[in-house]
Amino acid sequence: MNFELTVLPVLDISGDLEVIIVVDANLKHRFVQDKKLLTKAGFSCKQDETCLLVEKNRLYVGATSLKSSDIRRAAANAIKRLMGTTYKSVKVATYTNKGCTYTLRAMVEGFILGGYSFETYKSKKNESKIKEISISLEEYSELDIDIEKASLLVHKAQITADATNFTRDIVNTTPDDCYPDVMASIAEGMAEDTGLKCTILKSKELKEEKMETLLAVARASRHKPRVIHLTHKPKNAKVKVTLVGKGLTYDSGGLSLKPADYMVTMKSDKSGGSAVMGIMKAVAELKLPIEVHGFVGAVENMIGGDAYKPDDVLVAKNGKTIEIRNTDAEGRLVLADVLCYAQQEVKADYIFDFATLTGASVVAVGHYTSSVMGNNKEVQNLVVKEAQNAGELATALDFNDYLKKTIKSEIADICNISDTRYGGAITAGQFLSEFVDKRHADKWAHIDIAGPAFVEHAWGENPHGASGAGVRMMVKLIENLVRKTDSNN
Ligand code: BES
Ligand code: ZN
Ligand code: ZN
C-alpha cells in the first residue's frame, strides 16, 4: 500500500473511491454529501459500520469519536469492506483530534492493518486490491496541518503496521512450515534487510550455556530448538531495552497432552517470539536511538519416548531446580532460561517479556486484553499506558505473597505449576520472577498476550487469527522512551 499526502482538498484529488469517516453520527458535517441516501440505506453511523455507495464511488464508515483508537478501527473496517471489490485507489481527508496528529497515524495504521489477509494456504487469493491511498490534508475541523509532521507520522505508521503484519504472518504460518529453525531463518532474513545483528544459538551453544530447561522442553521434537538474539545498537544510545519472547512453534502440551479442542490454535504459541521479531524490525526501520535486544526461545513441545516428564526435576540456567508437575506449563521453562541468558548478555534499563503463557490470562481478562505483571507498579503502568496509546488493550495484574506460596515445591526450589487452579496468570508471572535477577527485578514487566495474540474471529482492526499483539504497544513505549531521554538531556 502506497500513501501520498497532498495539501489539495479531497475534491481535487484523484482516487477510485472516497472514504468518509462519519464521526459521532454527525451527518451534517461538510464531508457528508449523501445524507439522504445514507438514511435511506439505514446507515446508523455506529463504530465500524460501513455503507458503500457504488454509484457515487463513496464509502462511509462510522466512528464514535476522533480518538485514535476509533479512527484506526474505522479505517481498518473501511478497507476490509473493499476486499473483493475492484477499487485500486482510495482518497481520504485528514481527521485529527483537535489538531493532535496521532489520529492521522492511527488512520494509516488502520488502513494497513485492515488490509491484511493471510492467504498463504488459499488456492484462490482474495487479497486487498487497494494499492494507492491519497490523503488530503483538508482537515475534519478545518485545522491547518503541517505537511512535514504529517508525512513523518505516515512513515511511522507504515513501519509500525507493516511490522505488525510481519508478526501476524509468522504466527499464522502452520507448525509444519514454521518450526524453530525456520523462525531463526526468518529472523536472519529480516536482520539482513534491516541492518540488525542476528546471532542464533543451536543445540551445542544451548548446552554450553546450560539452558537445560529449554532443552528438556525441546527434547521430544524432531525440530531442534533455537535461541535467537537480535541486536539494534545505534551509536551513543543512552537507554538499553531487552525484549524476550516465548516462541513455541507448537505446544501439544507434551506428555501432559492437551485435549484435542485445546490443541487447535497452538501454532500461535510462538506469538511472543514473533512479536519480539516484529518489534525489532520496527525499531531498526525507525532508527530509534535506543539500544534494543530481542531474544526469542524457539522450541516445539511434543510427545515421544525421550520427552521430559511430570516428576522430573530440571536445573535452570541460574541453577534453580524446578519440579515438573505438568509438561504443558512449558513456556515458563523456556522463558526461565532465555531470561537468564538475556540478563547475562545485556545489563538493561528495561526488560519486557512477551508470551502466550496461560489460558488463565484469557479467563481473567478476556480475549482482547493482555495482562501485565511485574514487581514494579511504575513499569507495569507504563506498559499499560503505552499499550492503550497504541490501540492495544492491556491491564495490570498484581502479584501477591499468598499466590507466590502456591508454586513452592517439596522436593525442588520451585514447582512449574501452582497447587491452586485460581490466579494462574499471576502464579505463572511469579514463577518467571524467580529468573529475573536482583539488578533487573524492578525494571521488568511480563506481558501475557494469550488472549489477544490469536483470536478466531475478526475484531477491531484485527483479522481472524494472529493480531500481532505486543508490537504496537512496545514500539510506542520505546518511541516514548526516546522522547523522555531527549527531554532529560
Ligand atoms: N500455551 C499455553 C497457554 C495458552 C492457552 C495460550 C490458551 C493461548 C491460549 C501454555 O503453555 C499452557 O498450556 N499453559 C497451561 C498452564 C497450566 C498447565 C498450569 C494452561 O494455561 O492451561
Ligand atoms: Zn503449554
Ligand atoms: Zn505454551
Cα–Cα distance measured from residue 444 to residue 161, given in angstroms and rounded to the nearest whole number? 26
CA of 154 to the centre of ligand 3 (A): 36
Whether residue 9 is predicted with pLDDT greater than 80 in this model: the reply is yes
What share of the chain has pLDDT > 70, as a percent? 100
Cα–Cα distance measured from residue 19 to residue 348, given in angstroms and rounded to the nearest whole number? 45
Residue 331 CA, closest ligand 1 atom number = 11
pLDDT by residue (tens digit) across 193-245? 999 999 999 999 999 999 999 999 999 999 999 999 999 999 999 999 999 99
With the most atoms of ligand 1 within 8 angstroms of its CB, the residue from 264, 302, 357, 418 to mutate is: 357
- Sheet bearing 291-301, strands edge to edge: 197-201, 226-232, 291-301, 240-251, 350-355, 444-448, 369-374, 393-396
pLDDT score at 88:
96
Give the confidence band of 126 by pLDDT, cuts at 50, 70, 90.
confident
Cα–Cα distance measured from residue 103 to residue 107, given in angstroms and rounded to the nearest whole number? 6
Mean pLDDT, residues 233-261: 97
Cα–Cα distance measured from residue 88 to residue 445, given in angstroms and rounded to the nearest whole number? 43
What share of the chain has pLDDT > 90, as a percent? 97
CA-to-CA separations, 405 to 415, 425, 432, 446, in angstroms, rounded: 10, 15, 14, 19
CA R_g for the chain: 23
Mean pLDDT, residues 466-477: 98
With the most atoms of ligand 1 within 8 angstroms of its CB, the residue from 250, 256, 328, 415 to mutate is: 328
Task: Round the average pLDDT of the chain to a whole number and report it.
Answer: 97
Do 255 and 307 meet the contact criterion of CB atoms below 8 Å apart? yes
CA of 249 to the centre of ligand 3 (A): 9
Give the confidence band of 128 by pLDDT, cuts at 50, 70, 90.
confident
CA of 251 to the centre of ligand 1 (A): 9
Whether residue 484 is predicted with pLDDT greater than 70 in this model: the reply is yes
> Which residue CA neighbors atom 22 of ligand 1 most closely?
359
Do 462 and 364 meet the contact criterion of CB atoms below 8 Å apart? no
Whether residue 277 is predicted with pLDDT greater than 90 in this model: the reply is yes
CA of 143 to the centre of ligand 1 (A): 49
- Identify whether 233 is a catalytic site residue: no
Whether residue 16 is predicted with pLDDT greater than 70 in this model: the reply is yes
Residue 330 CA, closest ligand 1 atom number = 11
Mean pLDDT, residues 107-117: 97
Please report which ligand is nearest the Cα atom of 356.
1
CA of 249 to the centre of ligand 2 (A): 11
Residue 416 CA, closest ligand 1 atom number = 19
CA-to-CA separations, 291 to 152, 192, 232, 243, 263, in angstroms, rounded: 22, 18, 6, 11, 37
With the most atoms of ligand 1 within 8 angstroms of its CB, the residue from 264, 271, 325, 358 to mutate is: 358
Grid cell listed for 245: 519472547
Whether residue 120 is predicted with pLDDT greater than 70 in this model: the reply is yes
pLDDT score at 76:
98
CA of 300 to the centre of ligand 1 (A): 14
Classify residue 14 by burial, with Cβ atoms within 10 Å: 0-12, 13-18, 19+: exposed
pLDDT score at 196:
98
What's this model's pTM, rounded to 2 decimal places? Answer: 0.98
pLDDT score at 488:
66
The binding-site residues of ligand 1, defined as CB within 6 angstroms of any ligand atom, are: 251, 269, 326, 328-331, 356-360, 362, 417, 424, 450
pLDDT score at 233:
98
Give the confidence band of 486 by pLDDT, cuts at 50, 70, 90.
confident
Please report which ligand is nearest the Cα atom of 262.
1
Adjacent-strand bridge partners of 394: 370
Grid cell listed for 433: 520472577
Amino acid at 111: F
Whether residue 279 is predicted with pLDDT greater than 80 in this model: the reply is yes
Adjacent-strand bridge partners of 251: 301
Amino acid at 438: K
Residue 356 CA, closest ligand 1 atom number = 6
pLDDT score at 177:
98
- Identify whether 332 is a catalytic site residue: yes
Of 332, 443, 472, 476, which one is the catalytic site residue? 332
Of 238, 258, 325, 385, which one is the catalytic site residue? 258
Cα–Cα distance measured from residue 117 to residue 1, given in angstroms and rounded to the nearest whole number? 13
Whether residue 487 is predicted with pLDDT greater than 90 in this model: the reply is no
Residue 326 CA, closest ligand 1 atom number = 18
Cα–Cα distance measured from residue 210 to residue 414, given in angstroms and rounded to the nearest whole number? 18
Give the confidence band of 489 by pLDDT, cuts at 50, 70, 90.
low
Please report which ligand is nearest the Cα atom of 371.
1
Sequence-distant (≥ 6) Cβ neighbours of residue 363 within 8 angstroms: 424
